Chain A
Amino acid sequence: MRPIIGITTYVEDATWGVWRDLPTTLVPHDYAAAVSLAGGRPVLIPPEEDTDVLRVLDGLVLAGGSDLGPEMYGQEPGPHTVVRPERDKAESRLVRAALDRDVPVLGICRGMQLLTVAAGGSLHQHLPDLLGHEKHRPAPGVYGEHDARFEPGSRIAELMGDDLAIRCFHHQGVDDPGTLTVTGRAEDGLPEAVEDPGRRFVLGVQWHPEVVRDRRLFGALVAAATDEI
Protein backbone atom coordinates (compact mmCIF):
# COMPACT_ATOMS: atom_id res chain seq x y z
CA MET A 1 0.00 0.00 0.00
CA ARG A 2 1.26 3.46 -0.93
CA PRO A 3 1.54 6.15 1.72
CA ILE A 4 -1.46 8.46 1.76
CA ILE A 5 -0.54 12.08 1.21
CA GLY A 6 -3.15 14.72 2.06
CA ILE A 7 -3.18 17.90 -0.02
CA THR A 8 -4.93 20.99 1.33
CA THR A 9 -7.39 22.73 -0.99
CA TYR A 10 -8.95 26.08 -1.84
CA VAL A 11 -12.64 26.95 -1.79
CA GLU A 12 -13.46 29.27 -4.69
CA ASP A 13 -16.42 30.08 -6.93
CA ALA A 14 -15.50 28.05 -10.00
CA THR A 15 -16.85 27.79 -13.53
CA TRP A 16 -16.65 24.73 -15.80
CA GLY A 17 -18.77 23.18 -18.54
CA VAL A 18 -22.34 24.45 -18.15
CA TRP A 19 -21.79 25.39 -14.50
CA ARG A 20 -21.12 28.98 -13.43
CA ASP A 21 -19.58 30.29 -10.21
CA LEU A 22 -20.32 27.31 -7.99
CA PRO A 23 -18.56 27.20 -4.61
CA THR A 24 -16.04 24.44 -5.22
CA THR A 25 -13.20 22.84 -3.35
CA LEU A 26 -10.25 22.57 -5.68
CA VAL A 27 -6.49 22.46 -6.01
CA PRO A 28 -4.38 22.55 -9.18
CA HIS A 29 -4.13 19.03 -10.49
CA ASP A 30 -0.32 19.37 -10.62
CA TYR A 31 -0.17 18.68 -6.88
CA ALA A 32 -2.01 15.36 -7.07
CA ALA A 33 -0.06 14.37 -10.19
CA ALA A 34 3.27 15.16 -8.50
CA VAL A 35 2.33 13.06 -5.46
CA SER A 36 1.20 10.12 -7.63
CA LEU A 37 4.31 10.27 -9.76
CA ALA A 38 6.47 10.18 -6.63
CA GLY A 39 4.70 7.01 -5.44
CA GLY A 40 2.19 8.45 -2.98
CA ARG A 41 -1.62 8.20 -2.95
CA PRO A 42 -3.00 11.76 -2.97
CA VAL A 43 -6.25 12.67 -1.25
CA LEU A 44 -7.55 16.23 -1.26
CA ILE A 45 -8.54 17.72 2.09
CA PRO A 46 -11.40 20.24 1.99
CA PRO A 47 -10.98 22.93 4.68
CA GLU A 48 -12.65 21.84 7.92
CA GLU A 49 -11.80 22.63 11.50
CA ASP A 50 -11.64 19.01 12.56
CA THR A 51 -8.09 17.59 12.28
CA ASP A 52 -9.22 14.01 12.72
CA VAL A 53 -8.37 13.28 9.10
CA LEU A 54 -4.71 13.09 10.17
CA ARG A 55 -5.28 9.60 11.49
CA VAL A 56 -5.16 8.23 7.94
CA LEU A 57 -2.51 10.54 6.51
CA ASP A 58 1.10 9.44 6.24
CA GLY A 59 2.20 12.82 4.90
CA LEU A 60 0.81 16.28 4.18
CA VAL A 61 1.26 18.84 1.40
CA LEU A 62 0.26 22.40 2.27
CA ALA A 63 -0.72 23.79 -1.12
CA GLY A 64 -0.36 27.32 -2.45
CA GLY A 65 -3.17 29.86 -2.59
CA SER A 66 -4.27 33.18 -1.16
CA ASP A 67 -2.40 35.24 1.44
CA LEU A 68 -2.52 34.30 5.09
CA GLY A 69 -4.50 36.61 7.33
CA PRO A 70 -1.86 38.99 8.79
CA GLU A 71 -3.54 38.80 12.22
CA MET A 72 -1.95 35.36 12.43
CA TYR A 73 1.44 37.07 12.77
CA GLY A 74 0.32 40.23 14.54
CA GLN A 75 -0.09 42.67 11.66
CA GLU A 76 -2.88 44.66 10.03
CA PRO A 77 -3.72 43.65 6.44
CA GLY A 78 -1.93 45.72 3.79
CA PRO A 79 -3.63 47.00 0.62
CA HIS A 80 -2.43 44.07 -1.55
CA THR A 81 -3.28 41.29 0.88
CA VAL A 82 -6.07 38.94 -0.26
CA VAL A 83 -7.24 36.45 2.37
CA ARG A 84 -9.49 33.42 2.83
CA PRO A 85 -10.19 33.31 6.59
CA GLU A 86 -11.98 29.95 6.58
CA ARG A 87 -9.06 28.23 4.92
CA ASP A 88 -6.61 29.96 7.27
CA LYS A 89 -8.48 28.67 10.29
CA ALA A 90 -8.75 25.09 9.04
CA GLU A 91 -5.17 24.86 7.76
CA SER A 92 -3.66 26.40 10.90
CA ARG A 93 -5.27 23.72 13.01
CA LEU A 94 -4.29 21.01 10.60
CA VAL A 95 -0.64 22.04 10.39
CA ARG A 96 -0.30 22.38 14.17
CA ALA A 97 -1.82 18.95 14.71
CA ALA A 98 0.41 17.48 11.99
CA LEU A 99 3.52 18.98 13.61
CA ASP A 100 2.43 17.67 17.02
CA ARG A 101 2.23 14.19 15.55
CA ASP A 102 5.46 14.65 13.58
CA VAL A 103 3.66 13.85 10.32
CA PRO A 104 5.99 14.68 7.39
CA VAL A 105 4.97 18.05 5.88
CA LEU A 106 5.91 19.75 2.62
CA GLY A 107 4.74 23.37 2.49
CA ILE A 108 4.58 25.05 -0.91
CA CYS A 109 4.39 28.84 -1.42
CA ARG A 110 1.51 29.79 0.91
CA GLY A 111 2.24 26.44 2.62
CA MET A 112 5.80 27.56 3.43
CA GLN A 113 4.40 30.79 4.81
CA LEU A 114 1.92 28.82 6.91
CA LEU A 115 4.75 26.68 8.35
CA THR A 116 6.59 29.90 9.16
CA VAL A 117 3.64 31.48 10.94
CA ALA A 118 2.95 28.24 12.82
CA ALA A 119 6.59 28.40 13.98
CA GLY A 120 6.02 31.89 15.40
CA GLY A 121 7.48 33.76 12.43
CA SER A 122 6.15 36.57 10.25
CA LEU A 123 5.77 37.58 6.61
CA HIS A 124 6.39 40.50 4.32
CA GLN A 125 2.94 41.39 2.98
CA HIS A 126 4.00 42.78 -0.40
CA LEU A 127 7.51 42.10 -1.68
CA PRO A 128 7.67 44.79 -4.37
CA ASP A 129 7.42 47.35 -1.54
CA LEU A 130 10.43 45.75 0.13
CA LEU A 131 12.57 44.67 -2.81
CA GLY A 132 11.63 47.23 -5.43
CA HIS A 133 11.18 44.56 -8.12
CA GLU A 134 8.57 42.06 -9.32
CA LYS A 135 10.89 39.15 -10.09
CA HIS A 136 9.06 36.79 -7.73
CA ARG A 137 5.76 37.35 -9.59
CA PRO A 138 6.57 38.89 -12.96
CA ALA A 139 3.02 38.93 -14.43
CA PRO A 140 -0.27 37.00 -14.12
CA GLY A 141 0.36 33.36 -15.01
CA VAL A 142 4.12 33.88 -15.46
CA TYR A 143 6.57 32.23 -13.11
CA GLY A 144 9.71 34.03 -12.01
CA GLU A 145 12.73 31.84 -12.74
CA HIS A 146 15.70 32.06 -10.43
CA ASP A 147 18.70 30.11 -9.26
CA ALA A 148 18.56 29.70 -5.49
CA ARG A 149 21.42 29.34 -3.03
CA PHE A 150 21.05 26.51 -0.55
CA GLU A 151 22.71 26.08 2.82
CA PRO A 152 25.37 23.34 2.56
CA GLY A 153 24.39 20.31 4.60
CA SER A 154 20.68 21.17 4.67
CA ARG A 155 18.00 18.79 3.48
CA ILE A 156 17.05 21.00 0.56
CA ALA A 157 20.66 21.35 -0.60
CA GLU A 158 20.97 17.59 -0.61
CA LEU A 159 17.69 17.15 -2.50
CA MET A 160 18.32 19.80 -5.14
CA GLY A 161 21.89 18.76 -5.97
CA ASP A 162 23.39 20.82 -8.80
CA ASP A 163 20.12 21.93 -10.37
CA LEU A 164 19.29 25.14 -8.52
CA ALA A 165 16.57 26.48 -10.84
CA ILE A 166 13.30 27.40 -9.15
CA ARG A 167 10.02 28.79 -10.48
CA CYS A 168 8.12 31.06 -8.17
CA PHE A 169 4.92 33.08 -8.18
CA HIS A 170 4.26 35.06 -5.03
CA HIS A 171 4.05 38.60 -3.73
CA GLN A 172 4.52 37.82 -0.04
CA GLY A 173 7.58 36.27 1.56
CA VAL A 174 9.08 35.07 4.82
CA ASP A 175 10.44 37.82 7.05
CA ASP A 176 11.15 36.20 10.45
CA PRO A 177 11.32 32.39 10.10
CA GLY A 178 10.39 31.85 13.76
CA THR A 179 11.82 28.58 15.05
CA LEU A 180 12.51 27.31 11.52
CA THR A 181 15.89 27.47 9.81
CA VAL A 182 16.23 29.30 6.49
CA THR A 183 18.09 26.87 4.24
CA GLY A 184 17.67 28.52 0.85
CA ARG A 185 17.60 32.06 -0.49
CA ALA A 186 17.06 33.86 -3.80
CA GLU A 187 19.77 36.09 -5.25
CA ASP A 188 18.08 39.04 -3.55
CA GLY A 189 18.37 37.33 -0.17
CA LEU A 190 14.68 36.42 0.18
CA PRO A 191 14.12 33.10 2.02
CA GLU A 192 13.17 30.41 -0.49
CA ALA A 193 13.39 27.32 1.75
CA VAL A 194 12.80 26.70 5.45
CA GLU A 195 13.25 23.52 7.47
CA ASP A 196 12.79 22.22 10.98
CA PRO A 197 15.82 19.99 11.55
CA GLY A 198 14.30 18.90 14.87
CA ARG A 199 11.49 17.01 13.16
CA ARG A 200 11.50 14.07 10.83
CA PHE A 201 10.45 16.00 7.73
CA VAL A 202 9.32 19.61 7.74
CA LEU A 203 10.27 21.45 4.56
CA GLY A 204 8.81 24.64 3.13
CA VAL A 205 9.67 26.04 -0.29
CA GLN A 206 8.57 29.37 -1.68
CA TRP A 207 8.57 28.14 -5.27
CA HIS A 208 6.29 25.68 -7.11
CA PRO A 209 7.92 22.23 -7.47
CA GLU A 210 4.54 20.66 -8.35
CA VAL A 211 4.45 22.42 -11.71
CA VAL A 212 7.44 20.38 -12.91
CA ARG A 213 6.35 17.33 -10.83
CA ASP A 214 9.70 17.58 -9.03
CA ARG A 215 10.41 14.05 -7.84
CA ARG A 216 13.29 15.22 -5.68
CA LEU A 217 10.97 17.05 -3.28
CA PHE A 218 7.81 14.98 -3.59
CA GLY A 219 9.88 11.80 -3.56
CA ALA A 220 11.52 12.87 -0.30
CA LEU A 221 8.11 13.55 1.26
CA VAL A 222 6.78 10.18 0.10
CA ALA A 223 9.91 8.43 1.41
CA ALA A 224 9.47 10.09 4.82
CA ALA A 225 5.76 9.18 4.74
CA THR A 226 6.62 5.59 3.89
CA ASP A 227 8.73 5.36 7.05
CA GLU A 228 5.59 6.43 8.86
CA ILE A 229 3.68 3.30 7.81
Chain B
Amino acid sequence: MRRPLIGMTAYAQQVQYGSNDLMAGMLPMTYIRAVHAVGGRAVLITPDEPGTDVIESLDGIVFSGGGDIDPAYWGAERHPETEIDKERDESELLLMKAAIEADLPMLGVCRGMQVMAVAGGGTLHQHLPDVLGNDRHRGAPGTDPLAAGAAAYGRHDVRVQPGSRSHEMLGEFLTVNSFHHQAVDDPGSFTAVGWCPDDKVIEIIEDPALTYAVGVQWHPERTNDLRVFSRLVEAAARRSGGGSTWAPVKGAGREEPLAV
Protein backbone atom coordinates (compact mmCIF):
# COMPACT_ATOMS: atom_id res chain seq x y z
CA MET B 1 0.00 0.00 0.00
CA ARG B 2 1.47 3.32 -0.94
CA ARG B 3 1.42 6.43 1.17
CA PRO B 4 0.04 9.69 -0.15
CA LEU B 5 2.78 12.12 -1.13
CA ILE B 6 2.61 15.39 0.79
CA GLY B 7 4.64 18.36 -0.44
CA MET B 8 5.81 20.72 2.30
CA THR B 9 7.07 24.20 1.53
CA ALA B 10 10.63 24.57 2.78
CA TYR B 11 12.81 27.45 3.86
CA ALA B 12 15.86 28.53 1.91
CA GLN B 13 17.76 29.84 4.89
CA GLN B 14 21.26 30.52 6.19
CA VAL B 15 21.77 27.85 8.89
CA GLN B 16 24.50 26.75 11.22
CA TYR B 17 25.11 23.11 12.08
CA GLY B 18 28.30 21.47 13.29
CA SER B 19 31.07 23.63 11.84
CA ASN B 20 28.95 24.55 8.82
CA ASP B 21 27.33 27.90 8.06
CA LEU B 22 25.54 27.81 4.73
CA MET B 23 22.39 28.50 2.74
CA ALA B 24 20.24 25.39 2.94
CA GLY B 25 16.90 24.12 1.78
CA MET B 26 15.45 23.00 5.11
CA LEU B 27 12.50 22.29 7.35
CA PRO B 28 12.33 21.38 11.05
CA MET B 29 11.86 17.63 11.50
CA THR B 30 8.71 18.22 13.57
CA TYR B 31 6.84 18.87 10.31
CA ILE B 32 8.23 15.79 8.59
CA ARG B 33 7.49 13.58 11.59
CA ALA B 34 3.93 14.89 11.82
CA VAL B 35 3.21 13.90 8.20
CA HIS B 36 4.93 10.53 8.55
CA ALA B 37 3.18 9.81 11.87
CA VAL B 38 -0.24 10.01 10.22
CA GLY B 39 0.68 7.89 7.20
CA GLY B 40 1.86 10.43 4.61
CA ARG B 41 5.22 10.64 2.83
CA ALA B 42 6.80 14.10 2.99
CA VAL B 43 8.87 15.76 0.27
CA LEU B 44 10.14 19.32 0.52
CA ILE B 45 9.39 22.01 -2.04
CA THR B 46 12.11 24.63 -2.15
CA PRO B 47 11.38 28.22 -3.19
CA ASP B 48 13.81 28.13 -6.12
CA GLU B 49 11.73 29.56 -8.87
CA PRO B 50 8.09 30.25 -9.41
CA GLY B 51 7.06 27.12 -11.35
CA THR B 52 4.07 25.23 -9.96
CA ASP B 53 4.27 22.06 -12.05
CA VAL B 54 5.28 20.01 -9.00
CA ILE B 55 1.64 20.27 -7.81
CA GLU B 56 0.66 17.63 -10.36
CA SER B 57 2.78 15.00 -8.63
CA LEU B 58 1.49 15.65 -5.11
CA ASP B 59 -1.52 14.22 -3.29
CA GLY B 60 -1.56 17.03 -0.71
CA ILE B 61 0.44 20.04 0.42
CA VAL B 62 1.46 21.75 3.66
CA PHE B 63 2.33 25.42 3.70
CA SER B 64 4.83 25.66 6.53
CA GLY B 65 5.63 28.34 9.10
CA GLY B 66 8.35 30.92 8.69
CA GLY B 67 8.89 34.66 8.24
CA ASP B 68 6.38 37.41 7.43
CA ILE B 69 4.68 37.98 4.09
CA ASP B 70 5.46 41.20 2.21
CA PRO B 71 2.48 43.53 2.94
CA ALA B 72 2.80 44.88 -0.62
CA TYR B 73 0.74 41.80 -1.60
CA TRP B 74 -2.29 43.33 0.10
CA GLY B 75 -1.39 46.95 -0.58
CA ALA B 76 -0.11 47.96 2.87
CA GLU B 77 3.04 49.76 3.94
CA ARG B 78 5.62 47.65 5.69
CA HIS B 79 5.63 47.77 9.50
CA PRO B 80 9.11 48.12 11.09
CA GLU B 81 8.64 44.72 12.80
CA THR B 82 7.79 42.95 9.54
CA GLU B 83 10.60 40.70 8.31
CA ILE B 84 9.87 39.35 4.87
CA ASP B 85 11.18 36.45 2.82
CA LYS B 86 10.69 37.55 -0.78
CA GLU B 87 11.60 34.27 -2.47
CA ARG B 88 9.23 32.23 -0.36
CA ASP B 89 6.43 34.78 -0.81
CA GLU B 90 6.54 34.62 -4.58
CA SER B 91 6.95 30.88 -4.78
CA GLU B 92 4.33 30.03 -2.13
CA LEU B 93 1.67 32.44 -3.36
CA LEU B 94 1.96 30.91 -6.83
CA LEU B 95 1.86 27.39 -5.41
CA MET B 96 -1.12 28.28 -3.23
CA LYS B 97 -3.12 29.65 -6.14
CA ALA B 98 -2.30 26.59 -8.23
CA ALA B 99 -3.19 24.28 -5.31
CA ILE B 100 -6.56 26.01 -4.84
CA GLU B 101 -7.19 25.80 -8.58
CA ALA B 102 -6.37 22.07 -8.54
CA ASP B 103 -8.36 21.52 -5.30
CA LEU B 104 -5.25 19.86 -3.85
CA PRO B 105 -5.82 19.00 -0.16
CA MET B 106 -3.93 21.65 1.82
CA LEU B 107 -2.98 22.59 5.33
CA GLY B 108 -1.53 25.99 6.23
CA VAL B 109 0.49 26.29 9.45
CA CYS B 110 1.17 29.72 10.99
CA ARG B 111 2.76 31.63 8.10
CA GLY B 112 1.12 29.04 5.83
CA MET B 113 -2.33 30.07 7.08
CA GLN B 114 -1.40 33.68 6.40
CA VAL B 115 -0.29 32.76 2.87
CA MET B 116 -3.75 31.21 2.36
CA ALA B 117 -5.48 34.41 3.46
CA VAL B 118 -3.30 36.63 1.27
CA ALA B 119 -3.57 34.31 -1.76
CA GLY B 120 -7.34 34.51 -1.29
CA GLY B 121 -7.29 38.30 -1.46
CA GLY B 122 -7.26 38.89 2.31
CA THR B 123 -5.08 40.96 4.63
CA LEU B 124 -2.99 40.56 7.78
CA HIS B 125 -2.33 42.44 11.00
CA GLN B 126 1.40 43.12 10.73
CA HIS B 127 2.17 43.34 14.44
CA LEU B 128 -0.32 42.05 17.00
CA PRO B 129 1.08 44.03 19.97
CA ASP B 130 -0.07 47.19 18.13
CA VAL B 131 -3.59 45.77 17.88
CA LEU B 132 -3.86 43.99 21.25
CA GLY B 133 -1.49 45.92 23.48
CA ASN B 134 0.35 42.70 24.40
CA ASP B 135 2.58 40.03 22.85
CA ARG B 136 0.82 37.01 24.33
CA HIS B 137 0.61 35.19 21.00
CA ARG B 138 4.38 34.95 20.76
CA GLY B 139 5.80 32.18 22.94
CA ALA B 140 9.53 32.14 23.61
CA PRO B 141 11.50 30.31 20.90
CA GLY B 142 12.45 26.79 21.85
CA THR B 143 9.83 26.48 24.59
CA ASP B 144 6.80 24.24 24.75
CA PRO B 145 3.98 26.47 26.00
CA LEU B 146 1.76 23.43 26.39
CA ALA B 147 4.11 21.77 28.88
CA ALA B 148 3.01 21.57 32.52
CA GLY B 149 4.13 24.67 34.37
CA ALA B 150 4.95 26.68 31.23
CA ALA B 151 4.26 30.43 31.22
CA ALA B 152 0.88 31.54 29.85
CA TYR B 153 2.63 33.43 27.05
CA GLY B 154 2.35 31.38 23.91
CA ARG B 155 -0.65 29.32 25.04
CA HIS B 156 -4.35 30.00 24.73
CA ASP B 157 -7.73 28.46 23.95
CA VAL B 158 -9.38 28.39 20.57
CA ARG B 159 -13.13 28.44 20.11
CA VAL B 160 -14.35 26.76 16.91
CA GLN B 161 -17.50 27.84 15.06
CA PRO B 162 -20.25 25.21 15.38
CA GLY B 163 -21.33 23.94 11.99
CA SER B 164 -17.91 24.48 10.39
CA ARG B 165 -15.79 21.66 8.95
CA SER B 166 -13.12 22.45 11.53
CA HIS B 167 -15.70 22.09 14.32
CA GLU B 168 -16.55 18.64 13.04
CA MET B 169 -12.81 17.83 13.09
CA LEU B 170 -11.69 19.55 16.31
CA GLY B 171 -14.78 20.12 18.45
CA GLU B 172 -15.69 23.45 20.00
CA PHE B 173 -12.68 24.12 22.24
CA LEU B 174 -9.01 23.29 22.19
CA THR B 175 -5.85 24.69 23.75
CA VAL B 176 -2.98 25.54 21.44
CA ASN B 177 0.59 26.82 21.39
CA SER B 178 1.29 30.17 19.76
CA PHE B 179 4.43 31.58 18.10
CA HIS B 180 3.43 34.54 15.94
CA HIS B 181 3.33 38.31 15.93
CA GLN B 182 1.17 38.69 12.81
CA ALA B 183 -2.36 37.40 12.29
CA VAL B 184 -5.11 37.22 9.71
CA ASP B 185 -7.28 40.35 9.59
CA ASP B 186 -9.46 39.67 6.52
CA PRO B 187 -9.41 35.97 5.46
CA GLY B 188 -10.28 36.83 1.84
CA SER B 189 -11.90 33.92 0.00
CA PHE B 190 -11.52 31.72 3.10
CA THR B 191 -13.87 31.71 6.10
CA ALA B 192 -12.69 32.39 9.63
CA VAL B 193 -14.03 29.57 11.83
CA GLY B 194 -11.84 29.69 14.95
CA TRP B 195 -10.76 32.46 17.32
CA CYS B 196 -8.81 33.04 20.47
CA PRO B 197 -11.70 33.84 22.84
CA ASP B 198 -9.66 36.40 24.83
CA ASP B 199 -8.88 38.78 21.98
CA LYS B 200 -10.76 37.50 18.88
CA VAL B 201 -7.53 36.86 16.95
CA ILE B 202 -8.39 34.53 14.04
CA GLU B 203 -6.91 31.07 14.65
CA ILE B 204 -8.54 28.85 11.98
CA ILE B 205 -9.63 29.51 8.41
CA GLU B 206 -11.17 27.04 5.99
CA ASP B 207 -12.82 26.85 2.58
CA PRO B 208 -15.70 24.37 2.78
CA ALA B 209 -16.05 24.43 -1.03
CA LEU B 210 -12.65 22.70 -1.37
CA THR B 211 -11.88 19.08 -0.50
CA TYR B 212 -9.67 20.00 2.43
CA ALA B 213 -8.32 23.51 2.86
CA VAL B 214 -7.60 24.46 6.47
CA GLY B 215 -5.22 27.01 7.93
CA VAL B 216 -4.28 27.13 11.61
CA GLN B 217 -2.34 29.88 13.34
CA TRP B 218 -0.72 27.54 15.88
CA HIS B 219 1.90 24.80 15.44
CA PRO B 220 0.19 21.40 15.64
CA GLU B 221 3.38 19.70 14.43
CA ARG B 222 4.97 20.49 17.81
CA THR B 223 2.15 18.80 19.74
CA ASN B 224 0.61 15.36 20.05
CA ASP B 225 -2.64 16.60 18.53
CA LEU B 226 -2.10 15.87 14.83
CA ARG B 227 -5.77 15.82 13.77
CA VAL B 228 -5.30 18.55 11.15
CA PHE B 229 -2.49 16.47 9.61
CA SER B 230 -4.51 13.23 9.77
CA ARG B 231 -7.38 14.79 7.87
CA LEU B 232 -4.99 16.18 5.29
CA VAL B 233 -3.45 12.76 4.68
CA GLU B 234 -6.87 11.08 4.58
CA ALA B 235 -8.02 13.55 1.93
CA ALA B 236 -4.75 13.07 0.04
CA ALA B 237 -5.17 9.27 0.17
CA ARG B 238 -8.67 9.55 -1.29
CA ARG B 239 -7.35 11.79 -4.05
CA SER B 240 -4.56 9.34 -4.87
CA GLY B 241 -6.99 6.46 -5.22
CA GLY B 242 -7.64 5.20 -1.74
CA GLY B 243 -4.05 4.32 -1.00
CA SER B 244 -4.22 0.85 -2.50
CA THR B 245 -3.65 1.44 -6.20
CA TRP B 246 -1.15 3.23 -8.34
CA ALA B 247 -2.60 6.53 -9.43
CA PRO B 248 -2.00 7.58 -13.04
CA VAL B 249 0.34 10.38 -12.02
CA LYS B 250 2.69 10.46 -14.97
CA GLY B 251 1.35 12.31 -17.98
CA ALA B 252 -2.08 12.84 -16.47
CA GLY B 253 -3.60 16.26 -16.93
CA ARG B 254 -0.37 18.15 -17.51
CA GLU B 255 -0.77 21.85 -17.97
CA GLU B 256 1.47 24.85 -18.24
CA PRO B 257 2.20 26.57 -14.92
CA LEU B 258 -0.51 29.10 -14.06
CA ALA B 259 0.37 32.66 -14.87
CA VAL B 260 -0.43 35.08 -12.07
Q: Are both chains from one complex?
A: yes
Q: Which residues of B contact A44 (CB under 8 A)?
A: 10, 25, 43-44, 46
Number of B interface residues at 8 Å Cβ cutoff, please give it.
46
Helix, strand, loop or mixed for chain B's interface? mixed
- CB of B19 within 8 A of CB of A140, answer yes
B3 interface residue per 8 A CB criterion: yes
Flag the segment in B28-36, B105-113, B117-125, B147-155 that touches A: B28-36
Measured CA separation A140–B25 after assembly (Å): 21
Closest-by-CB residue of A relative to B66 is A17
Partner of B24, one of A26, A43, A45: A26
Scan residues 3-25 of chain A and give those whose CB is less than 8 A from a CB of chain B: 4, 6-7, 9, 11-20, 22-25
Chain A contact residues (Cβ within 8 angstroms of B): what range?
A: 35 or more
Given contacts A24-B26, A229-B251, contact A18 B141 (CB under 8 A): yes
Q: Across the interface, which residues of B come within 8 angstroms of A14, CB to CB?
A: 15-17, 24, 26
A-B contact pairs, 7 of them (CB 8 A): A6-B43, A14-B16, A15-B15, A16-B15, A25-B44, A46-B44, A48-B42
Is B41 at the interface (CB under 8 A from chain A)? yes
Among residues 239 to 260 in chain B, which have CB atoms less than 8 Å away from a CB atom of chain A? 246, 249-251, 254
Within 8 A of A (CB), among B1-49: 2-3, 5, 7, 10-19, 22-30, 32, 36, 41-46, 48-49
Residue ID in chain A nearest B2 by CB atoms: A52
Residues of A within 8 A of B249 (CB): 55-56
CA distance A66 to B248 in the complex (A): 37
B53 contacts chain A at the CB level, 8 A cutoff = yes
Alpha-carbon distance between A166 and B7 when the two chains are bound, in angstroms: 34
Across the interface, do A53 and B5 meet the contact criterion of CB distance under 8 Å? Answer: yes
Q: Which residues of chain B are near A184, meaning CB under 8 Å?
A: none
Q: Are A29 and B23 in contact (CB under 8 A)?
A: yes
- B26 lies within 8 A of A26 (CB): yes
Q: What are the residues of chain B within 8 A of A110 when measuring CB–CB?
A: none
Q: Check A25 against B29 for contact (C-beta < 8 Å).
A: yes
**9 nearest CB pairs, A to B:** A26-B26, A44-B44, A18-B141, A12-B17, A26-B24, A56-B57, A36-B48, A23-B29, A29-B23
Q: Is the CB of A42 within 8 A of B48?
A: yes
The reply to whether B46 and A12 contact each other, CB–CB distance below 8 Å, is no
A72 to chain B, nearest CB (A): 22
Contact residues of A between 90 and 137, Cβ < 8 Å to B: none
Contact between B3 and A52 (Cβ–Cβ < 8 Å)? yes
Instruction: Tell whether, in the assembled complex, residue A33 and residue B32 are in contact, meaning their CB atoms are under 8 Å apart.
Output: no
Known interface pairs A1-B53, A43-B45, A229-B251; A19-B141 also in contact (CB < 8 Å): yes
Query: Nearest-CB distance from B92 to chain A (Å)?
Result: 15
B95–chain A nearest beta-carbon distance, Å:
12
Q: Which residues of A contact B250 (CB under 8 A)?
A: 229
A2 CB–B CB distance under 8 Å:
yes
A87 interface residue per 8 A CB criterion:
no
Q: How many Å from the CB of B249 to the closest CB on chain A?
A: 6
Closest to A46 in B: B32
- Closest A residue by C-beta to B12: A29
For A36, the closest partner residue in chain B by CB is: B48
Chain B, 35-86, CB within 8 A of any chain A CB: 36, 41-46, 48-49, 51, 53-54, 56-58
Report if B142 contacts A (CB, 8 A): yes
B221 to chain A, nearest CB (A): 12
* Residue in A closest to B142 when the chains form the complex, CB atoms: A20
Asked if A36 and B49 make an inter-chain contact with CB atoms under 8 angstroms apart, the answer reads: yes
